[in-house]
Amino acid sequence: MISISESNIIFGDYSEENVFLVEKAVQGYFCGRESCMKSVEFLLTKDDSLFFVEAKTTPPPEEELAKVAKKFLDTFYFTTAIITKRQKLNVTSNIVESFKKAKLYLLLVVNTNNPKYIKQFTNIRKAIVQELNKSKPYIMLWDYSVLVIDKNKAQELKIVKA
């Protein structure tokens, strides 16, 4: 079993076969003159879904939402390269099968229960989707949803520890 600590949230416990610690795999992997590849914290396969999980201590400001969308996209492309064996890193067969068949969720978990912040989640989600739509047609070929939730909702979904 594995637990992951990010943004003062403890995610888990998960079976190791259902997790890909993509952030650790990506760190320093691709850096060019302009920028380095960014990634979400980890991938989680659960209940016929594949979650691309990003965590924040507070809702990201509007000017940071393009960076959050870039993390989702970079992770998606990086994982595709691994699964198609264009990159020599391994992911578990559970992640591979989920990537092929499961519903994809780009999940932003914000460590808050402040109603003022939670009211922002709909606009944050819309802005991330808008940024992702700029990548047409690539990400649009996949069936995916963007979710922005607080820690309590993540606990209900059994994504984080209670």
Q: Across all residues in the chain, what is the average pLDDT?
A: 87
pLDDT tens figures, 101-152: 889 999 999 999 888 888 899 999 999 999 888 876 666 677 789 999 999 9
Nearest-angstrom CA–CA distance, 130 and 86: 29
Res 34: pLDDT? 59
pLDDT at 4: 95
Tell me the whole-structure pTM to 2 decimals: 0.89
* pLDDT of amino acid 28: 57
Q: Beta strand pairing status for 103-110 and 144-150? A: parallel
* CA–CA distance, 145 with 12 (Å, rounded to integer): 21
Residue ranges covered by each domain of the chain? 2-156
Quick one: tokens of 142?
């996949």
Tokens of 54: 């990003």
Cβ–Cβ under 8 Å, residues 77 and 30: no
